Structure 1
Amino acid sequence: MTSGWVFEEAAIVFVSILAGIIFFYISSPSVKHEKKQQLEEGTSLIINFVLFIWAGKIVLNIHIFVTDPLAVLAYPSDAHAFYMAVLLLLVNIVYKATRKQMYVGTVLSALVPIFLGSAFLYEFIEAVWNDNTMSWSHMGLLFILLILFLIRYEQIRPFTMTALIFTIWSLGQTILTFILPYTTLYGYMMSLWFLILVFTISLIALIYNKRKVT
């Protein structure tokens, strides 16, 4: 029963990310070779993020993994594995950027639309297919962000757009925590401290970048 649920969730996430990639490809104003590079960088980080979630799940349950690895791999990941994956992903981005292996603006140009498109479709599937009524609120927030992105993505630099999107998203999610019993992202329950941390970092990045530009 658990393995079937895990397979269904993995399938929903896969379809959602695929939809996010398609949304990026359609909405991106970049020329073909730039779009291909952005997509390659963004897809690479998404794959790493999925691997980081699995690695986090193993590390957090290492005592069980040593004796029964299949039990850990078959069991659904929790929010702590998600948080660890986010941290490792940020470390990965910083490492590549400092080593000049990746231009941050290139990957952010792909990650933001992929995130918005995939998260929106995930919540839509949860609301319609799985009859999860709490998904409507998050889907409404993501819909607003999608409209904002489509209206302003050609006028705002990738770094600024990323900071703006995640500032509004984390603030909206924080407000939802006081309205709903809980809020999620890709099925992972978001803690209030995590949302406040994302909001604080995104807001600081937004202010810093605005002052740097002006």
Structure 2
Amino acid sequence: MTLTNVHISIGVMLLSFSIGFLAYYVISDDVKKGQKKIHMGETLNQLVNFVIYIWLGKVLLNIPLFIEDPLAVLAYPSNSHAFHIAIFVSVIALMIKTKRGKMDVVPFLHTFIHIFLISTFIYEFIQFVWYDNRYSIAYMGLVVLLIVALVLTRRFLSVQWQNVFIYFAWTLGSFMLTLFLPIMTVFGYTVKPWFSGFLLIVALILIVYQKQLSKVD
């Protein structure tokens, strides 16, 4: 991938998330505007951290080259391995922040899910229309179903259960797509079956955990 293509890819991603944030702010009626801005700010902050973690992943995967030429490593496009590392680090950072009482993770995840799904749909739609990426159709269809489910379940599911349900549905759908498609990508990063399978196991654990919390309540 040339630097020009990298810049275009970054531009498409920024456009997708910009539309995702704007659509969430205009359409969502989950919280008051003041709280909504706080949750959106936290989501933006975590996305910036995620980009930093991707760079960290690139450095860890290319330590010898980074020592010789740091700019060369940072200039290269990230691969799926750096993407996976960034996800793991992000989850650990969120867990630490939540445990220290610095974040209310439930409304944050609810906001993130909305923005993520809308942004993903825009990104995949551009990939299909502009780049004629036929593999985007299946994943775009999954995202549309999840957005519809998000709207329909808000009346009878609590925010906690809605978060768990959408996450489970996304991981299950993604796992199935990785098995049947030659390649599946999320924002241009290839997702392997083992990774989506791992996320699915995590989703199942969260369902059991949420059920235990419901019994306690």
TM-score norm. by structure 1 comes to 0.94
Instruction: Please tell me whether the aligned partners of residues 134 and 180 of structure 1 are also in contact (alpha carbons under 8 angstroms).
Output: yes
Matched with 2:24 is: 24
Q: Report the equivalent of 2:148.
A: 147
Correspondence 1:133-144 to 2 at 5 A: 133-144=134-145
Give the conservation status (yes or no) of the 8 Å contact 1:38–1:110: yes
Which amino acid is the alignment partner of residue 111 of structure 1? F
For residue 177 of structure 1, what is the aligned residue in structure 2?
Answer: 178
CA distance in structure 2 between the aligned counterparts of 1:5 and 1:204, rounded to whole angstroms: 39
Identity of aligned residues (%): 36
Q: Which runs of 5+ in 1 are unaligned?
A: none
Contact 1:174 1:196 in 2 (8 A): yes
- Whole-angstrom CA distance in 1 between matches of 2:19 and 2:6: 20
For 2:209, the equivalent position in structure 1 comes to 208
Which residue number corresponds to residue 103 of structure 2? 102
Q: Give the distance between the partners of 1:52 and 1:59, measured in 2 at CA.
A: 10
Aligned to 2:56: 55
The one-letter code of the counterpart of 1:12 is V
Name the CA distance, whole Å, in 2 between partners of 1:187 and 1:178. 18
Separation in 1, partners of 2:209, 2:95: 17
1:104 Cα deviation from its structure 2 partner: 0.8
Of the structure 1 ranges 155-164 and 80-89, higher mean CA displacement relative to structure 2 is found in 155-164
The answer (yes or no) to whether the contact 1:49–1:86 under 8 Å persists in 2 is yes
Shift in alpha-carbon separation, 1:148–1:210, aligned structure 2, 3 A: same
Runs of 4+ in 1 over 6 A off after TM superposition: none
Paired residue type of 1:69: P
**Alpha carbons 1:16, 1:119 under 8 Å: kept:** yes
8 Å CA contact 1:108, 1:159 repeated in 2: no
User: Is 1:193 aligned to residue 191 of structure 2?
Assistant: no
Give the distance between the partners of 2:159 and 2:188, measured in 1 at CA: 27
Cα shift at 1:154? 4.8
Moved more, 58-67 or 83-92: 58-67
Q: Which runs of 5+ in 2 are unaligned?
A: none
Higher alpha-carbon deviation: 176-185 or 93-102 = 176-185
Are residues 205 and 190 of structure 1, via their aligned partners in 2, closer, same or farther at CA, if it must alter by over 3 Å?
same
Partners of 2:194 and 2:32 lie apart in 1 by 40
Structure 1 residue 86 corresponds to structure 2 residue 118: no
